[in-house]
């Protein structure tokens, strides 16, 4: 499955789910773009640990700063004006 199709399905299904949770979520919308990074099997434990500790991690580093750091680390060219909707 193409990553773009997977992201489309996740966004679509999760949008429908959150909107079913009440009127306060009626305006929920995902931003237009997305970023995807792959990992190797040897990094799986680190990824699980990261997911379990995201709240604490993002208290120290914002998602936006972390995303920029990953783009820089993997030498992905970007224009910050267009990264965030």
Tens-level pLDDT at each residue, the chain (85 residues): 999 999 999 999 999 999 999 999 999 999 888 888 889 999 999 999 999 999 999 999 998 999 999 999 999 999 988 887 6
- In a domain, residue 11? The reply is no
- In a domain, residue 62? The reply is yes
Write out the residue range of the structural domain in which residue 51 sits.
Answer: 40-85
Q: What's the number of domains the chain is made of?
A: 1
- In a domain, residue 2? The reply is no
- In a domain, residue 10? The reply is no
Cα angle vertex 57, ends 51, 60, to 5°?
Answer: 165
pTM confidence score: 0.66
- In a domain, residue 69? The reply is yes
- In a domain, residue 57? The reply is yes
Instruction: Measure Cα distances from 24 to 20, 27, 29 in Å.
Output: 10, 8, 12
How far is Cα 36 from Cα 80, in angstroms, rounded to an integer? 17
- In a domain, residue 26? The reply is no
């Amino acid at each position: 499955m193409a990553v773009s199709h997977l992201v489309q399905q996740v966004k679509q299904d999760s949008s429908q789910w959150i909107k079913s949770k009440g009127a306060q979520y009626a305006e929920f919308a995902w931003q237009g773009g997305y970023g995807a990074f792959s990992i190797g099997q040897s990094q799986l434990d680190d990824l699980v640990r990261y997911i379990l500790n995201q709240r604490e991690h993002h208290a120290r580093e914002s998602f936006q700063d972390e995303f920029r750091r990953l783009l820089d680390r993997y030498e992905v060219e970007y224009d910050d004006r267009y990264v965030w909707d």
